[in-house]
Chain A
Amino acid sequence: MNQPVLAVEDLRVRLRTPRGPADVVNGLSYTVGAGETVAVVGESGSGKSVSVLALLGLLPARVATVTGTARLQGEDLLAMSPDRLREVRGPGAGMVFQDPMTSLNPVLTIGRQLVEGIRAHGDVSKPAARARAADLLREVGLPDPDRALDRYPHELSGGMRQRVVIAIALSNSPSLLIADEATTALDVTVQAQIIDLVEKLQDEHGTGVIWITHDLGVVAGIADRVLVMYGGRCVEDGTVDDVLERPAHPYTRGLLGSLPDLAAPVGPDGEVPELTAVPGLPPPPTDLPPGCVFWPRCPVRSDPRCEDEQPPLAIVSRAAAGAGATASGTTVSGATPSGAHEGDRAHLPHRAATWCAEGTSGTGSPAVAGTSGTGSPSGGAR
């Protein structure tokens, strides 16, 4: 419990593209503890998928340059030999991909695809691996697992295929499970089943989970911790409650504002309040702004430094509480250190990379600046 399953530090990914080098991930740092679920959220193109593909060396080496460290149970994934990395894929970290329709090989049976994964990591006889494969399919709730082994992917529905992909990812009892938009392509009821399934398996095996999604509803349901990505950077992270209830970064607020709020009061004529969208598009990774990545779209822009300086990722809530800042009423009230997870609290500071946490003038900045040294490493700093 003390040592995190995964500790990522200053992960950077640069891709060579026809339009020049693209900085897709820029100094990402986070940890995933055993049995913990970390949700990585952000809109399309924010570098979520690339950041996890980079961990397992699944980006094409010809175009991707990955730097930083990523310790999986103490061993740096990014400095590993290809052979060792192959051994780690599977027992170390299993991965579930976005589209179950394409992530299985259409010309091989389900059984074969499971068995080859099992046999790649241990001297298991074919019948034994087959029995294990059937057990796995049973575990992920596939009806009639013994017969399913001899079926081909096209004979199964999307939800069933995703169960198979999960079974493959779990087949070597990984200490870390990475789910890259694993439920995005599925309909809502199936999505809920898959989420339940992963939670159940996580409880049973103590697996650490990275759950990549852009669905904040899913985040609220499963995550212990949230990491908000924008422009390849972590702009805010913290516990689910902190980030979703008391978002500090203007981008997170924008993201939350684009959710339909069913509890919002209906207008006098029965009209539903309009959704607030974050105007504009994320910056192209080939041409990132010199300052805060969100500055071009930021509705606040309260601090002049944002334009050409990247605000460091600094503790927000404890900072506000400690400094006793005057204009931080909402933030302070939620940051009571006595919670259900008081032990965890120390490890889970609420951080945001912004100088305008309060959204009003520049009052937030002195408070943050005063405490940024006490917090965990500020990965977003430049």
Chain B
Amino acid sequence: MFGLVHLVPGDPVRLALGTRFSQETYDALRERSGLDQPLVEQFFTWFGRALTGDLGVSFRSGETVTSQIAERLPATLTLAFASILVALLIAIPLGTVSALRPRSLVDRVATVISQFGISVPDFWMGIVLILVFAGTLGWLPSGGYVPISEDPGAWLQRLLMPALVTGVVSGSVITRFVRSSMLEALGSDHVRTAQAKGLGTRQVFTWHVLRNALLPLVTVTGVQLAYLLSGVVVVEIVFSWPGLGQLALQAVEARDYPVLQGAILLFAVVFLVINLIVDLLYTAIDPRIRR
């Protein structure tokens, strides 16, 4: 990953200095950023510092990378969790309804909706929403981010549309999983045993269908959450959402290696942590995995 970042053509020092600069300033800056060292050495220096929590200093702004990430983190966390909430609110009812009546009209409609959500580009959906709700109707602001601590109302207003867009996309993917895992659970023999015991429909559904369909649901939700936490670049740009995705993109444009590396490192850690949480949840959900 480190190598890949440095493979990107373009010289960060040149970009930082603008068009007019002397060779001395160039060399001095290069030396100060450590870019004159061999790549392997640069890597180990960076890695050693990263282990102690020091991700370096941004070439562009001069702030520490950690402070830049920390600044963006709340916005990304907000959007990711709001989106996953929207996604689950869409996916669980829609997937359940489709599974309960496979090949029915409801199922077909649900399939079309989720197919639509998967295939429609999120930026397009974002732009349409902005045009309708911010433009024509004027109900919602077209973008930006206000911390919840400042103004919860404005926070929610600005969160609504981006969360909907990313939520619909993730939700469409999750719907397909809910449908198939629910169908599988519905068809299993133990559901018949539960019915033969004389349990009510609701109890059978909650404890013998939903409970058993939970495992695949947790997996796919974890994957989606990790994806959302690593920043939904396009949606963040459409809604001027100051999240990590936007930060990473700006870092790429400016060849701001420390920021980019810091962001990528964070995404990797997020993936690992989420996978760990999902694995831990597995053992809580399925006794066959324990031991």
Which residues does A use to contact B, with CB under 8 Å?
53, 56, 58, 62, 86-91, 94-95, 97, 99, 102-109, 113, 116-117, 120-121, 152, 154, 165, 168-169, 171-172
Contacts and interface: CB of A to CB of B under 8 A. Distances in A.
A121 B196 contact: no
Given A56-B196, A120-B199, 19 more contacts: A53-B192, A58-B196, A86-B198, A86-B200, A89-B198, A90-B198, A97-B192, A97-B196, A104-B190, A107-B212, A107-B287, A116-B207, A117-B197, A120-B197, A120-B198, A152-B288, A154-B287, A165-B193, A168-B197
B105 to A, nearest CB: 13
Q: Which 5 A-B pairs have the closest CB atoms?
A: A90-B198, A89-B198, A117-B197, A102-B189, A105-B190
Nearest to B192: A58
A85 B197 CA distance: 11
B25 interface: no
B49 interface: no
B211 interface: yes
Contacts of A168: 193, 197
B200 A103 contact: no
B197 A89 contact: yes
A95 B198 CA distance: 11
Nearest to B104: A62
A97 B188 CA distance: 12
Contact of A97 (B189, B200, B203): B189
A168 B203 CA distance: 16
B158 interface: no
A109 B192 CA distance: 17
B41 interface: no
Name the residue among B188, B189, B207, B208 with the largest chain A CB count within 10 angstroms: B189
B189 A169 contact: no
A300 B165 CA distance: 72
A89 B200 contact: no
Contacts, number: 85
A95 B197 CA distance: 8
A87 B198 contact: yes
B287 A152 contact: yes
B195 interface: yes
A120 B198 CA distance: 7
B233 interface: no
A182 to B, nearest CB: 12
B286 interface: yes
Which residue of B192, B196, B203 has the most chain A CB atoms within 10 A of its CB atom?
Answer: B196
A105 B208 CA distance: 7
Nearest to B190: A105
A94 B287 contact: no
A184 to B, nearest CB: 14
Contacts of B285: 107
Contact of A103 (B189, B207, B286, B288): B189
Nearest to A168: B197
B73 interface: no
Contacts of B196: 56, 58, 89-90, 94-95, 97, 169
A196 B174 CA distance: 49
B197 A90 contact: yes
Contacts of B286: 106-107
Contacts of A152: 287-288
